[in-house]
Amino acid sequence: MRPAPAPPKQQLGWRALRRGATLLAALALLSAPAFAQPIPYHADPDAREILPNLQPVPAIRFLTSADFPPFNFRDDAGELIGFNIDLARRICIEVNVACTIQAWPWEQAATALADSQGDALIAGLAMTAENGEIFDFSSIYLALPGRFVTRADAIGTFNAQALAGQRVAVRAGGAHEDFLARYLPEAEIVGFGDEIAALEAVRTGNAGAFFGDAMRASFWLNENLGCCGFAGEAYFRPQLFGEGMAIAVPAGNDPVRHAIDWALVRLKQNGTLDELYLRWFPVGFY
């Protein structure tokens, strides 16, 4: 059984992702990041610091994949690294339990979790109704907004409410095209086969703006900073763009899920989530 669709990276050029991830990994090792960009905040403001009962959680066996940079992938030395890898380790430190992280092929990872070969899957598993029948999910630790990208000289004057007659590039047939058609119908929507082609249309001047998944766009911008940048606000539409990144656990494994949720609240409050976000996403997408 394959309860999940392919991770988002398979919808974006793999080579571009790999190059971007390599640079991100290098930047992560240089120094502590500067807090100079908007920081996401997804911790529940009503959450309480109630230490979970750790008696049933002597360890957390995290499963992941090794092909989803910059979240989870292998560096040139073969070491498993990435945002999700660092987050999993910090969760275990915060909860003070033993931690293992094992990489599986993406098409087998969810099945391995369902077969109790791990306690939690941190690999971008989609929070679909189908997956919800098999797994429970932690709190969201990273939402995935939609954003506009324009050429650098147009960022300061960009106005999403003044797109009449302007060509906006988008991946054809996706949720972001639906968003434009529903909320900004005056724009001239130009569909492309994938996000890279749509973003390249902005770089070459064939479109005035791009609209799409901000995380994927940030990878492309990492290699095109002299050309383009994010413009306007971030749009959060979970019903269209997905709930975001969360950690899956086998249905009913409440002790592990509660421990992870508690750790996520603490990691946000002590600044660790912000540090990891800035380390792995130097071109922030919020």
Q: Which tokens sit at 19?
A: 């190059």
In this predicted structure, the answer to whether residue 30 has a pLDDT above a threshold of 60 is no
pLDDT digits (tens, 9 = 90+) for 69-116: 899 999 999 999 999 999 999 999 999 999 999 999 999 999 999 999
In this predicted structure, the answer to whether residue 23 has a pLDDT above a threshold of 50 is no
In this predicted structure, the answer to whether residue 11 has a pLDDT above a threshold of 80 is no
Mean pLDDT along residues 5-11: 38
In this predicted structure, the answer to whether residue 193 has a pLDDT above a threshold of 80 is yes
Give the residue from 171, 146, 148, 167 showing the smallest Cα distance to 158: 148
pLDDT digits (tens, 9 = 90+) for 255-282: 999 999 999 999 998 999 999 999 999 8
Q: Between 14-28 and 214-222, two packed helices, what is the crossing angle to 10 degrees?
A: 70
| pLDDT of amino acid 35 | 41
Mean pLDDT along residues 20-27: 44
Q: Reduce the DSSP state of residue 84 to 3 states and report it.
A: helix
Peptide bond into 33 cis (omega under 30): no
**Is the whole model's pTM more than 0.85, yes or no?**
no
| pLDDT of amino acid 282 | 86
pLDDT digits (tens, 9 = 90+) for 32-43: 344 446 666 555
Contact 122, 73 (CB under 8 A): no
Residue 286 pLDDT class (50, 70, 90 cuts): confident
Q: How far apart are the first and last CA of the chain?
A: 35
Q: Greater confidence, 40 or 137?
A: 137
| Residue burial 251-263, b: 16+ Cβ < 10 Å; e: rest | eebebbbbbbbbb
Contact 174, 12 (CB under 8 A): no
| pLDDT of amino acid 24 | 43
Contact 240, 179 (CB under 8 A): yes
| pLDDT of amino acid 131 | 94
- Beta strands in the chain, from DSSP E residues, in sequence order: 59-64, 67-68, 72-74, 80-81, 98-103, 120-121, 135-137, 146-151, 167-171, 188-192, 209-213, 228-235, 248-250
How many Å is the maximal CA-CA distance in the chain? 62
